[in-house]
């Protein structure tokens, strides 16, 4: 209740409260911190893909009279499409874990019902509750479903645009 955001909101008449102990605040905090975390890494990857595009393609398109939108849809997107597809496949691979480390770090008993995901549930049952066999079974199920998702998206990607992880 003494963070910079609660002090800022206090100037506008909102009561100062511990934001991490309120279940209603967990989802916005998690989503905003995830966006903040992933935008930097994604920007680096996509910027590297953009810089690998040959500038002569843009010059030739300009000579042919292409405007900015034609350059985007006919040069830029087709050139970075393999990067977009690989990043999509890799993000599908992270779909079932949903940033478990961040959830566990933000975790407390006041928000268990809101914040519980499969990985944090496995952590709570296995490490804290010492129910090793059950948490191992749930973790294995999670991994198998995640593996099937990655294989499916990879096969679909290979059929659609001939880009895949393997």
* Confidence band of 1 (pLDDT split at 50, 70, 90): low
Does residue 105 have a pLDDT over 80? no
Prediction pTM value: 0.73
Measured CA to CA, the distance from residue 121 to residue 140 in angstroms comes to 13
Integer CA distances (angstroms), 133 to 71, 141, 155, in order: 56, 12, 33
- Looking at CATH, the fold of the domain delimited by 4-161 is given as MetI-like fold (1.10.3720)
Does residue 56 have a pLDDT over 80? yes
pLDDT digits (tens, 9 = 90+) for 134-157: 888 988 998 899 899 999 999 999
Q: For tokens 């000579």, name the residue.
A: 63
pLDDT digits (tens, 9 = 90+) for 18-40: 777 777 888 888 888 888 888 98
Give the single-character DSSP code of 96: T
Percent of the chain at pLDDT > 70 equals 99
């Amino acid at each position: 209740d003494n963070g910079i955001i609660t002090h800022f909101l206090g100037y506008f008449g909102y009561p100062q409260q511990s934001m991490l102990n309120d279940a209603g605040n967990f989802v916005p905090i998690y989503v905003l911190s995830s966006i903040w975390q992933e935008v930097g890494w994604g920007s680096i990857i996509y910027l590297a893909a953009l810089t690998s595009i040959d500038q002569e393609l843009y010059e030739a398109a300009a000579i042919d009279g292409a405007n900015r939108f034609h350059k985007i849809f006919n040069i830029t997107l087709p050139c970075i499409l393999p990067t977009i597809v690989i990043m999509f496949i890799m993000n599908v691979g992270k779909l079932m874990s949903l940033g478990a480390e961040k959830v566990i770090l933000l975790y407390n008993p006041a928000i268990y019902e809101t914040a519980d995901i499969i990985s944090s549930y496995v952590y709570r049952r296995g490490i804290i509750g010492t129910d090793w066999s059950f948490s191992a079974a749930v973790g294995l199920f999670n991994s198998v479903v995640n593996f099937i998702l990655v294989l499916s998206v990879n096969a679909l990607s290979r059929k659609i645009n001939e880009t895949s992880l393997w």
